[in-house]
Amino acid sequence: MTTIAVDAMGGDHAPKPEVEGAIRAARNLGVRVILVGREDLVRRELEQHEHDSLAIEVRHASEHITMNDSAARSVRSKRDSSLRVSSRLVREGCAQGFVSAGNTGAVMATAKMVQGVVLGVDRPALSGVFPTVTGLPVVLVDVGANVDCSPRMLAQFAVMGEIYSHMILHRDNPRVGLLSIGEEEHKGNEMTRAATPLLKSLPINFIGNVEGRDIYSGKVDVVVCDGFIGNVALKVSEGLVDMIKNTLQESLESTITGKLGYVLAKPAFTDFKRRLDYSEYGGAPLLGVRGGCIICHGRSNANAIKNAIRVASEFSGGKVNQRIEDEFRRWMTEKL
Amino acid sequence: MTTIAVDAMGGDHAPKPEVEGAIRAARNLGVRVILVGREDLVRRELEQHEHDSLAIEVRHASEHITMNDSAARSVRSKRDSSLRVSSRLVREGCAQGFVSAGNTGAVMATAKMVQGVVLGVDRPALSGVFPTVTGLPVVLVDVGANVDCSPRMLAQFAVMGEIYSHMILHRDNPRVGLLSIGEEEHKGNEMTRAATPLLKSLPINFIGNVEGRDIYSGKVDVVVCDGFIGNVALKVSEGLVDMIKNTLQESLESTITGKLGYVLAKPAFTDFKRRLDYSEYGGAPLLGVRGGCIICHGRSNANAIKNAIRVASEFSGGKVNQRIEDEFRRWMTEKL
């Protein structure tokens, strides 16, 4: 049985969604979960739910890292943080991966330092999964772990994203595109122009430049970019979805027929929201660290945590990191 | 009376939306319009509409630039293109600005070369206007004219965007933010970290770093970024809006109550679409060229063209470029 550690103190509303998500995962996914955090708080939350028959354990950690802590400093100074203990459980083989909705910078720094990096990977990359028009998800790598990337790093992101798309999202021969500002090869900046020949030389299905709108168009399965760009793309999308939901609601509430229409179409709106809901996709895997590490949004609900646990479990089952290591050994030593 | 030249051959469906937009502008905005393009085609379209009493003129241009033409080459080789003739009318003082829905690269290159650049501006910048949660628009500079920007260029974008927001969008003391991946000053890439001290030294209301989601949150009036980033943000937004409209429609059409709700709430949906509609904002002004130049989306409809003519007219009336020149003389010679 796969065991996943959950940083129970990470999210904005911890430990409630973490505990609920763990219960749902243990109940429905056949996964063993270790909840890591302040034992009194975690147990109190756990007591709110029926959980006796479930494979859930609590591991005490006396500290936790807040959003205000500096990533680098907190990793070093808070040695008994719930985050660090979670990562240590993976390193020691007690868990096959861990999930955290905490400070993204701190999670990445901890996973890199404690679990270490897959052989051949220069820098782990944070991947995000987005819905598309076709209903099939697209992977964006990197969404914020690395800025000022070298072309070599982008090539590594392409390989890791391709393996992730294939092994976890089950895409055959995933189409990999480079995020730029025009489809033609010469359109872009210094970095994209330098990365193109390298990407072409890889044994992946590289389709060339794609544009921002293609993230949602379904014409590409893996979009590669510098983490600064990917983070902007991710957060622009979040902001726009919030704005659109607000605008739609205001428009619907401004007239009686609008309100009535909304009531009648409620299941359609629920379906619509679910299809846009990030929590269905289960967080962002940090590709290239040993053992799994899935980073969730700070405001993750129980469903998002459950799905992140599912992805962490699939990650270990699919042996993604082993595959990355094998591929890197095979390709990268020659090419990069 | 302000005169605006319109490149009648620019857009994907030229000259239909251009001619209709010109008619609407001449009728409702009190603007004189010169339609520039193949005289036979433009007149044939014009004859479809009642236009005798309107201040509309046609200026023949024998060539036009397509989306497949290289920007740099077409500007030089097609000397009688509708685009180039439009820009020349501005240089010669026959029009105070021009509007084109053509090849963005070619429009920018032509305006720069033919009309020239405002004194003190290193590189003109393309600005985009976006809706926000609050209903007040936000300006993003640059959305694709310049990639691999220097910190000095970002500082110039900030000044030009601030003037645009104040003079055309009538914002008092506009809040200017630098697009980055976290609010803290140290969060960002090499470029944002280098630009921050320069932006702080300007006599504008600089509020520091903003994130992608803040474009839509209403907490900032002018967002400054490299053109590569801005273009990605713009196109990610376009792609996401398309995806959301599709998803919503599919969800509504999948059940009978959904369909009925949609019928009842139709005015609300129309209002919703209008509030998200880029065509209301009238294209993207190229800030920093002499005389106005407004670039529209290739798929612009008549409403978008009309609004672009309105913005071009306000641009000349508001003397935006003169103000940019004055401010640059006053500030930039010391600071940059």
Sheet strand arrangement including A175-179: A56-60, A32-37, A3-7, A97-100, A292-295, A284-287, A125-130, A138-141, A222-224, A175-179, A205-210
Asked if B267's CB is within 8 angstroms of A264's CB, the reply is no
Closest C-alpha to A244, from B131, B282, B139: B131
Selecting from B239, B241, B268 the residue whose C-beta is nearest the C-beta of A258 gives: B268
Average pLDDT over residues A59-63: 96
Q: Residue A209: count other Cβ atoms within 10 Å of its Cβ.
A: 21
Which one-letter amino acid corresponds to residue A233?
A
Residue B333: which pLDDT band, with cuts at 50, 70 and 90? low
Average pLDDT over chain A, rounded to whole? 90
Judging by DSSP bridges, how do beta strands A125-130 and A284-287 pair with one another? antiparallel
Q: How far is B110 from chain A (nearest CA, A)?
A: 18
pLDDT at residue A334 in the model: 62
Judging by DSSP bridges, how do beta strands B32-37 and B56-60 pair with one another? parallel
More confident residue, B143 or A120: B143
Residue B185: which pLDDT band, with cuts at 50, 70 and 90? confident
Please, how many CA atoms are within 13 Å of residue A70, restricted to the half-sphere of its CB? 8
pLDDT at residue B278 in the model: 60
pLDDT at residue A243 in the model: 85
Average pLDDT over residues B204-219: 96
Query: What's the rounded Cα separation, in Å, for the pair B2 and B117?
Result: 21
pLDDT at residue A221 in the model: 98
Q: How far is A268 from chain B (nearest CA, A)?
A: 5
pLDDT at residue A330 in the model: 80
Q: Residue A243's closest chain B neighbor by CA?
A: B133
Mutate to test the interface with B, among A136, A184, A192, A243 (most CBs of B within 10 A): A243
Query: What's the rounded Cα separation, in Å, for the pair A220 and A132?
Result: 10
Selecting from A229, A243, A275 the residue whose C-beta is nearest the C-beta of B216 gives: A243
Measure the CA dihedral B67/B68/B69/B71, to 10°: 60
pLDDT at residue B280 in the model: 67
More confident residue, B210 or A169: B210
| Residues 6 or more apart whose Cβ sits within 8 Å of residue B6 | B18, B21, B22, B33, B34, B35, B36, B86, B98, B99, B100, B305, B309
pLDDT at residue A280 in the model: 67
Residue A321: which pLDDT band, with cuts at 50, 70 and 90? confident
Judging by DSSP bridges, how do beta strands B138-141 and B56-60 pair with one another? unpaired
A268 contact residues in B (CB cutoff 8 A): 248, 251-252, 254-255, 257-258, 261-262
**Alpha helix stretches (DSSP H) within A64-189:** 71-77, 82-91, 104-110, 151-167
Mutate to test the interface with A, among B226, B264, B299 (most CBs of A within 10 A): B264
Closest C-alpha to A280, from A311, A246, A241: A311
pLDDT at residue A335 in the model: 55
pLDDT at residue B5 in the model: 98
Q: Of the given ranges (A179-188, A293-302, A318-327, B287-296), which has the lowest mean pLDDT?
A: A318-327
CA A123 centroid distance within chain: 16
Asked if B268's CB is within 8 angstroms of A254's CB, the reply is yes
Q: Of the given ranges (A144-158, A215-229, A231-245, B45-59), which has the lowest mean pLDDT?
A: A231-245
The DSSP letter of residue B279 is G
Asked if A228's CB is within 8 angstroms of B232's CB, the reply is no
pLDDT in tens, B163-175: 999 998 899 999 9
Q: Please answer whether residues B258 and A267 qualify as being in contact, where contact means their C-beta atoms are separated by less than 8 angstroms.
A: yes
Residue B120: which pLDDT band, with cuts at 50, 70 and 90? confident
B258 contact residues in A (CB cutoff 8 A): 264-265, 267-268
Sign of torsion over alpha carbons A74, A75, A79, A84: positive
Residue A276: which pLDDT band, with cuts at 50, 70 and 90? low
Query: What's the rounded Cα separation, in Å, for the pair B132 and A239?
Result: 9
Average pLDDT over residues B131-148: 92
Is the pLDDT at A317 greater than 80, yes or no?
Answer: no
The DSSP letter of residue A92 is T
Q: How many CB pairs under 8 A join A and B?
A: 206
Q: Residue A246's closest chain B neighbor by CA?
A: B133
Selecting from A216, A234, A268 the residue whose C-beta is nearest the C-beta of B239 gives: A216
Asked if A214's CB is within 8 angstroms of B133's CB, the reply is no
Share in percent of chain B as helix, strand, coil (round to 5): 50, 15, 35
pLDDT at residue A332 in the model: 58
pLDDT at residue A198 in the model: 94
Average pLDDT over residues A267-281: 69
Cis peptide before A15 (omega within 30 of 0): yes
| Residues 6 or more apart whose Cβ sits within 8 Å of residue A257 | B264, B265, B267, B268
Q: Please answer whether residues A120 and A287 qualify as being in contact, where contact means their C-beta atoms are separated by less than 8 angstroms.
A: no
Residue B330: which pLDDT band, with cuts at 50, 70 and 90? confident
| Residues 6 or more apart whose Cβ sits within 8 Å of residue B191 | B149, B151, B154, B226
Asked if A264's CB is within 8 angstroms of B264's CB, the reply is yes
pLDDT at residue A336 in the model: 52
Measure the CA dihedral A5/A6/A7/A9, to 10°: -140
Among residues of chain B, what percentage have pLDDT more than 90?
63
Set out the domains of chain A in order of their start, with CATH numbers.
Answer: 1-121+288-319 (3.40.718.10), 123-279 (3.40.718.10)
Average pLDDT over residues A186-215: 95
Average pLDDT over residues A307-313: 94
**Alpha helix stretches (DSSP H) within A47-150:** 71-77, 82-91, 104-110
Query: What's the rounded Cα separation, in Å, for the pair B224 and B18?
Result: 30
Is the pLDDT at A60 greater than 80, yes or no?
Answer: yes
Bridge partners (DSSP) listed for residue A178: A209, A224
pLDDT at residue B335 in the model: 55
| Residues 6 or more apart whose Cβ sits within 8 Å of residue B259 | B252, B253
Selecting from B190, B213, B264 the residue whose C-beta is nearest the C-beta of A239 gives: B213
| Residues 6 or more apart whose Cβ sits within 8 Å of residue B210 | B177, B178, B179, B180, B183, B219, B220, B223
Asked if B179's CB is within 8 angstroms of A239's CB, the reply is no
Judging by DSSP bridges, how do beta strands B284-287 and B56-60 pair with one another? unpaired
pLDDT at residue B197 in the model: 95
Q: Of the given ranges (A193-207, A309-323, B83-97, B318-332), which has the lowest mean pLDDT?
A: B318-332
Q: Please answer whether residues B106 and B187 qualify as being in contact, where contact means their C-beta atoms are separated by less than 8 angstroms.
A: no
Average pLDDT over residues B55-72: 89
Is the pLDDT at A82 greater than 70, yes or no?
Answer: yes
Measure the CA dihedral B86/B89/B93/B99, to 10°: -10
- When mean pLDDT is compared over A23-27, A77-81, A166-170, the highest value belongs to A23-27
Burial of B260 (0-12, 13-18, 19+ CB in 10 A): middle
Q: Please answer whether residues B195 and B158 qualify as being in contact, where contact means their C-beta atoms are separated by less than 8 angstroms.
A: no
Helix axes A256-264, A227-253, angle to 10 degrees: 120
Asked if B264's CB is within 8 angstroms of A272's CB, the reply is no
DSSP string for B290-325: SSEEEE--TT--HHHHHHHHHHHHHHHHTTHHHHHH
Helix axes B39-46, B16-28, angle to 10 degrees: 60
Q: Please answer whether residues A259 and B237 qualify as being in contact, where contact means their C-beta atoms are separated by less than 8 angstroms.
A: no
Q: Residue A214: count other Cβ atoms within 10 Å of its Cβ.
A: 21
Is the pLDDT at A186 greater than 80, yes or no?
Answer: yes
Selecting from A131, A216, A276 the residue whose C-beta is nearest the C-beta of B242 gives: A216
Query: What's the rounded Cα separation, in Å, for the pair B315 and B294?
Result: 9
B248 contact residues in A (CB cutoff 8 A): 268, 272
Closest C-alpha to A124, from A108, A147, A138, A137: A108
Closest C-alpha to B242, from A252, A244, A171: A244
Query: What's the rounded Cα separation, in Å, for the pair B326 and B324?
Result: 5
Closest C-alpha to A15, from A47, A37, A48, A31: A37
Asked if A251's CB is within 8 angstroms of B181's CB, the reply is no
| ipTM exceeds 0.85 | yes
Asked if A181's CB is within 8 angstroms of B239's CB, the reply is no
Selecting from A148, A180, A231 the residue whose C-beta is nearest the C-beta of B212 gives: A231
pLDDT in tens, B276-295: 666 667 788 999 999 999 99
Closest C-alpha to B110, from B162, B177, B61: B61
Q: Please answer whether residues B321 and B333 qualify as being in contact, where contact means their C-beta atoms are separated by less than 8 angstroms.
A: no
B264 contact residues in A (CB cutoff 8 A): 257-258, 260-261, 264
Q: How far is A27 from chain B (nearest CA, A)?
A: 30
pLDDT in tens, A103-114: 888 999 999 999
| Residues 6 or more apart whose Cβ sits within 8 Å of residue A68 | none
pLDDT at residue B334 in the model: 62
- Residue whose entry in the numeric block shows the structure tokens 């994130």: B211
Mutate to test the interface with A, among B240, B246, B266, B277 (most CBs of A within 10 A): B240
Phi, psi of A186 (to 5 degrees): -80, -10
Query: What's the rounded Cα separation, in Å, for the pair A296 and B289?
Result: 45
pLDDT at residue A112 in the model: 94
